[in-house]
Chains A and B, each alone.
Chain A
Amino acid sequence: EAGVTQFPSHSVIEKGQTVTLRCDPISGHDNLYWYRRVMGKEIKFLLHFVKESKQDESGMPNNRFLAERTGGTYSTLKVQPAELEDSGVYFCASSPRQGLYEKLFFGSGTQLSVL
């Protein structure tokens, strides 16, 4: 069974440019999460999809970030325009169901560097 796949693994862009990150969850997982770790900080929640619906987007830092999950399969996270403080590792995770025994499967992350 394929794990959570993220693309690209690394992205280097200039301030003001646009970047789109992609996440392919494990097949059949309704729940999809985006997290990020900025330099020296802990991994922080960005948002949670259940199928194609945004369940919780309270962690999205501002309106430069847009996440979509059309059709309830893969998800994209677009940053437009990118700022220096957006640099960090963006993780995607998926899980098969909600509840107390939530088991998150993480992708390897996208290392984003904004210069």
Chain B
Amino acid sequence: TQLLEQSPQFLSIQEGENLTVYCNSSSVFSSLQWYRQEPGEGPVLLVTVVTGGEVKKLKRLTFQFGDARKDSSLHITAAQPGDTGLYLCAGAKNFNKFYFGSGTKLNVKP
């Protein structure tokens, strides 16, 4: 069974729309990371959240770690075609061992 469930699996929206991606688990993590992956490339780290309830902003992207450190969300405001890609969450146990969600494939149409 998968430790981290991501939803939705696929998302196709128009440029300018807002969206939220969810990452849920019944397990507690010491930290949680969000990555973006382009075709043929490896995942690229966007953010790390470590404190329950923590909110981090990266331009139009807002990341939140759940109070109990079991879940997280990624919100994109006014999505752009350049936001297109595969978004992955990864929770850390024992600091270094990361468990990945299966990803959300986002397509932003111009």
Residues of A within 8 A of B (CB): 4, 31, 33, 35, 41-45, 48, 55-56, 58, 91, 93, 98-109
Q: Of the candidates B88, B95, B102, which one forms a contact with A100 in the assembled complex, judged by CB atoms under 8 Å apart? A: B95
B44 touches A100 (CB 8 A): no
Whole-angstrom CA separation of A42 from B90 in the bound complex:
10
B96 to chain A, nearest CB (A): 6
Chain B interface category by residue count: 20 to 34
B43 touches A43 (CB 8 A): yes
Residues of B within 8 A of A (CB): 2, 4, 30-31, 33, 35, 40-45, 48, 50, 88, 90, 92, 94-103
- Across chains A and B, the number of contacting residue pairs, with CB separation under 8 Å, is 62
* List of B residues within 8 angstroms of A42 by Cβ: 2, 4, 99-103
Whole-angstrom CA separation of A55 from B90 in the bound complex:
19
Top 3 A-B pairs, shortest CB-CB distance: A106-B42, A43-B100, A42-B102
B86 to chain A, nearest CB (A): 10
B92 to chain A: closest residue by CB: A102
